[in-house]
Amino acid sequence: MWAVIYIFAGRTKKLFNVDIFEKIAKRPGKLGQYMDKAHGYYMFPKLEGELSSRMIFMGKERLVWSLNNYLGLGNLPEVRAADAQAAKDWGLAYPMGARMMSGQTSYHEKLEQELAGFVGRESAYLLNYGYQGMVSIIDSLVDRNDVIVYDSEAHACILDGMRLHFGKRFVYPHNDMENLDKELERATKLTAKTGGGILVITEGVYGMSGDLGNLKGIVALKGKYNFRLLVDDAHGLGTMGRDGSGTDMHYGVRDQVDLYFSTFAKSMAGIGAFIAGPKEIIRFLMYNMRSQVYAKSLPMPMVIGALKRLEIIRTQPEHREKLWRIVNALQKGLKEHGFNLGKTESPVTPVILPGGVPEATQITHDLRENFDIFCSIVSYPVVPKGVILLRLIPTAMHTMEDVNYTIESFAEIKKKLDAGSYSSGMIEKMVVE
Ligand SMILES: Cc1ncc(COP(=O)(O)O)c(C=O)c1O
């Protein structure tokens, strides 16, 4: 605490303020509260060795179900070769500058054209990161007169984009079409007064629960209300639809989804993202998205590497077919063993168990140490109190042996959980080097 004494017109005034660093030391944040106990084990774990379904964690090989490398492209020799060649030819610096100023290349344009073609849109625009891109898309699309209507389980990048929005935002409970109808009615009345428009935002595949955004239900409301629809299909690109071109293809509603967004961070096993839609809207975004106007262009190896990945997704359906064989076997086997997988319809496989943070940490520990299985675990506040979610991400790199071993191991974990063996707080006891 600091005190500054002012003497003004013969009167003294004392002003107090805190030191920001001192404040942070006392309030480490929702996840930060575990940093002393969990760093390196539950949080910021190091997975070492080749990117694969088996990697080294704390010196020992584990079966990994945590990587969004759905199609296994991350380590495919031809992808690695394309990445290495592009790095050799161009380095990481090229091009220097923002796209608008000095960072434009024909490779960037080619990738945009190919992405647009793949997802069936007129145009596409590259983004450096999905998260930043989404924030900036929302910021540039709407003004204070417009209303955003969004799903309650929307990803952090959508929520953070809305923080920049000066107009109203209405939320509807996850995939609840009756409530969406009500919110759209409310938004319609409001925008009739403000002279604004309505933007609805949903995800294609919800990355925690694996269920799909109800795109069919949402587009059906277009007959009743005047709105534009933006879909974040981070987990749907490469995995959903008969050709892997996304959840709108899966539902057959492509022409009703006005803007399609996805990232290269999942199936494309890279970095970067894109937005696709009508030519004039993409042009508008190119000239108005602050995350791109004021940031350096994606480096060449990312762009050339993404071109290679897209070519493989389009021409080698065997990776997606393999992924779905693994997904179907894993989900079927877990369900047969009595596990609750919620409403997943995608590769994302949530295993929903009763329990709190202490059980969650002990189960994770048991899985990692005694079964050599590494998967992500989610507990309150990300999921409701009393629920643990073990999230498995099947990929084309997994084998049927991996699937069978995992199902058997999970059956043992469930027995222990049901018998109450995981009741005390392991996170308190754990010593993490
Ligand atoms: C639904 C969703 N949108 C956006 C992003 C952000 O993408 P990026 O990792 O490219 O920033 C993610 C996570 O990666 C995501 O799951």
CATH number of the domain where residue 411 is located: 3.90.1150.10
Beta-carbon contacts of 6 under 8 Å, excluding residues fewer than 6 positions away, are: 12, 13, 14, 15
First to last CA, the chain: 34
**Measured distance CA(40)–CA(24) in Å, rounded:** 21
**424 — pLDDT class (breaks 50, 70, 90):** low
Atom of ligand 1 nearest to the CA of 205: 1
Q: Look at residues 358, 334, 357 and name the one whose alpha carbon lies nearest to residue 344.
A: 334
CA 14 – ligand 1 centroid, Å? 47
- For the segment 399-418, what is each residue's pLDDT rounded down to a tens digit? 999 999 999 999 999 999 88
246 and 101 assigned to the same domain:
yes
Beta-carbon contacts of 17 under 8 Å, excluding residues fewer than 6 positions away, are: 1, 2, 4
Q: For the chain, what is the mean pLDDT?
A: 93
Question: What pairs with residue 374 in β-bridges?
Answer: 64
**Measured distance CA(279)–CA(272) in Å, rounded:** 20
CA 8 – ligand 1 centroid, Å? 53
Which of 70, 131, 151, 309 should be mutated for ligand 1, with most atoms under 8 A from CB? Answer: 131
**Measured distance CA(268)–CA(262) in Å, rounded:** 10
Domain that includes residue 421, residue range: 27-64+318-429
pLDDT above 50 (res 311): yes
325 and 208 assigned to the same domain:
no
pLDDT, average across residues 117-136: 98
Among protein residues, the one with the nearest Cα to ligand 1's atom 15 is: 234
pLDDT, average across residues 1-14: 68
CA 265 – ligand 1 centroid, Å? 7
Question: What pairs with residue 230 in β-bridges?
Answer: 201, 259
- For the segment 60-119, what is each residue's pLDDT rounded down to a tens digit? 999 999 999 999 999 899 999 999 999 999 999 999 999 999 999 999 999 999 999 999
CA 131 – ligand 1 centroid, Å? 5
CA 130 – ligand 1 centroid, Å? 5
Percent of the chain's residues with pLDDT above 90: 82
**377 — pLDDT class (breaks 50, 70, 90):** confident
CA 115 – ligand 1 centroid, Å? 17
302 and 237 assigned to the same domain:
yes
pLDDT above 90 (res 342): yes
Atom of ligand 1 nearest to the CA of 133: 11
Q: Quote the number of domains for the chain.
A: 2
User: Is pTM, for the whole model, over 0.85?
Assistant: yes
pLDDT above 60 (res 419): yes
Q: What is the pLDDT of residue 3?
A: 63
CA 100 – ligand 1 centroid, Å? 24
CA 237 – ligand 1 centroid, Å? 12
In Å, how far are 109, 117, 307 from 124, measured between CA atoms?
9, 9, 14
Q: What is the pLDDT of residue 251?
A: 98
- For the segment 130-166, what is each residue's pLDDT rounded down to a tens digit? 999 999 999 999 999 999 999 999 999 999 999 999 9
Which of 68, 70, 155 should be mutated for ligand 1, with most atoms under 8 A from CB? Answer: 155
Determine the length of the chain: 433
CATH of the domain at 123: 3.40.640.10
- Choose the final residue of a domain: 275, 299, 315: 315
**385 — pLDDT class (breaks 50, 70, 90):** confident
**426 — pLDDT class (breaks 50, 70, 90):** very low
Q: Any idea which residue has 């933006």 for tokens?
A: 230
54 and 87 assigned to the same domain:
no
Among protein residues, the one with the nearest Cα to ligand 1's atom 8 is: 130
Q: What is the pLDDT of residue 281?
A: 98
pLDDT above 70 (res 427): no
C-alpha torsion sign, points 363, 368, 370, 373 = positive
**9 — pLDDT class (breaks 50, 70, 90):** low
336 and 296 assigned to the same domain:
no
Q: Helix H segments across 231-356?
A: 247-251, 279-288, 290-293, 300-315, 318-336
308 and 329 assigned to the same domain:
no
Q: What is the pLDDT of residue 357?
A: 82
Could you tell me if residue 13 is inside a domain? no
197 and 295 assigned to the same domain:
yes
Token readout for 348 is 């994302």
Percent of the chain's residues with pLDDT above 70: 95
Residues with CB under 6 A from ligand 1: 129-131, 134, 155, 157, 203, 207, 232, 234, 263, 265, 273
CA 233 – ligand 1 centroid, Å? 9
Q: At what angle do helices 106-118 and 300-315 cross, to 10 degrees?
A: 30
CA 81 – ligand 1 centroid, Å? 26
Beta-carbon contacts of 390 under 8 Å, excluding residues fewer than 6 positions away, are: 350, 351, 353, 363, 364, 367, 375, 376, 377, 378, 410
Token readout for 199 is 């933007």
Could you tell me if residue 392 is inside a domain? yes
Which of 263, 264, 302, 391 should be mutated for ligand 1, with most atoms under 8 A from CB? Answer: 263
301 alpha-carbon distance from chain centroid: 22
Which of 150, 151, 157, 275 should be mutated for ligand 1, with most atoms under 8 A from CB? Answer: 157
Half-sphere exposure of 355 (CA within 13 A, CB side): 29
- For the segment 165-224, what is each residue's pLDDT rounded down to a tens digit? 999 999 999 999 999 999 999 999 999 999 999 999 999 999 999 999 999 999 999 999
**272 — pLDDT class (breaks 50, 70, 90):** very high
Could you tell me if residue 14 is inside a domain? no
Q: 3-state DSSP call for residue 276?
A: strand
Atom of ligand 1 nearest to the CA of 132: 11
Among protein residues, the one with the nearest Cα to ligand 1's atom 2 is: 234
In Å, how far are 118, 259, 299, 359 from 228, measured between CA atoms?
21, 8, 32, 43
CA 417 – ligand 1 centroid, Å? 32
Q: Are 47 and 69 in contact (CB under 8 A)?
A: no
- Choose the final residue of a domain: 252, 285, 315: 315
Atom of ligand 1 nearest to the CA of 263: 10
Kindly state the helix (H) or strand (E) to which residue 273 belongs, with its residue range: strand 273-277
112 and 156 assigned to the same domain:
yes
Q: Any idea which residue has 């076997």 for tokens?
A: 329
Q: 3-state DSSP call for residue 54?
A: strand
**Measured distance CA(115)–CA(127) in Å, rounded:** 12
Could you tell me if residue 19 is inside a domain? no
CA 161 – ligand 1 centroid, Å? 13
pLDDT above 50 (res 429): no
99 and 165 assigned to the same domain:
yes
Token readout for 373 is 């299985």
300 and 322 assigned to the same domain:
no
- Choose the final residue of a domain: 315, 347, 375: 315
Q: What is the pLDDT of residue 1?
A: 56
Neighbours of 265 (CB within 10 A): 18
Q: What is the pLDDT of residue 39?
A: 87
Atom of ligand 1 nearest to the CA of 272: 10
Could you tell me if residue 16 is inside a domain? no
- For the segment 231-260, what is each residue's pLDDT rounded down to a tens digit? 999 999 999 999 999 999 999 999 999 999
Could you tell me if residue 238 is inside a domain? yes
pLDDT above 60 (res 431): no
pLDDT, average across residues 51-67: 97
Q: Are 172 and 198 in contact (CB under 8 A)?
A: no
